Structure 1
Amino acid sequence: MWDPKQYSHFRDERKRPFFELLARVDVDAPSHVADLGCGTGDLTRVLTERWQEARVYGVDSSSAMVEEARRRPSSESLRFDVADLAGWEPPAPLDVLVSNAALHWVPDHGALLRRLVEKLAPGGVLAFQIPANFDAPSHRHIDEVRALPRFATKLESVRRGHAGPIEVYESLLSDLGLTVDAWETTYLHVLPGEDAVLEWLLGTTLRPVLAALNPEEGRAFLDTLRPLLRQSYPAHARGTPFRFTRRFVVARRGR
Structure 2
Amino acid sequence: MWDPDKYLAFDDLRARPFFDLMGRVGADQPRRVVDVGCGPGNLTVTLAQRWPGAALEAFDSSPEMVAAAREHGIAATVADVHDWRPAPDTDVVVTNAVLQWVPDHLALLPDWVAALPGGAWLAIQVPGNFDAPSHVTIRELARSQRWRQRLGAAGILDRQAVPDPAGYAAVLTAAGCRVDAWETTYLQPLTGADPVLEWVTGTALRPIRDALDDAEWQRFRAELAPLLRTAYPREEDGTTWLPFRRVFAVAHKAE
- TMscore range, shorter length: over 0.9
Displacement of 1:254: 1.3
Displacement of 1:114: 1.9
Match of residue 111 from structure 2: 115
Which of 147, 152, 156 is the aligned partner of 2:148?
A: 152
Match of residue 193 from structure 1: 192
Moved more, 142-151 or 58-67: 142-151
Displacement of 1:246: 0.2
Per-residue Cα deviation, 1:35-91 (whole angstroms, up to 9, x for no partner): 11111111111011111110011111100010111123x3xxx53111112322344
The TM-score with structure 2 as length reference comes to: 0.94
Displacement of 1:214: 1.3
- RMSD value, Cα: 1.4
The reply on whether 1:214 has 2:178 as its aligned counterpart is no
Residue correspondences, number: 251
Aligned partner of residue 139 in structure 1, secondary structure: helix
Match of residue 15 from structure 1: 15
Equivalent runs, 1:134-145 vs 2, <5 Å: 134-145=130-141
Aligned partner of residue 83 in structure 2, secondary structure: coil
What runs of 5+ residues in structure 1 fail to find an aligned partner?
A: none
Match of residue 101 from structure 1: 97
Runs of 4+ in 1 over 4 A off after TM superposition: none
Checking the alignment, whether the CA contact within 8 Å between 1:32 and 1:92 is kept in structure 2 is no
- Between the aligned partners of 1:119 and 1:220, the Cα distance in structure 2 is 47
The TM-score with structure 1 as length reference comes to: 0.94
Checking the alignment, whether the CA contact within 8 Å between 1:181 and 1:249 is kept in structure 2 is yes
What runs of 5+ residues in structure 2 fail to find an aligned partner?
A: none
Equivalent runs, 1:1-255 vs 2, <5 Å: 1-72=1-72, 74=73, 79-159=75-155, 161-236=160-235, 237-255=237-255
Aligned partner of residue 163 in structure 2, secondary structure: coil
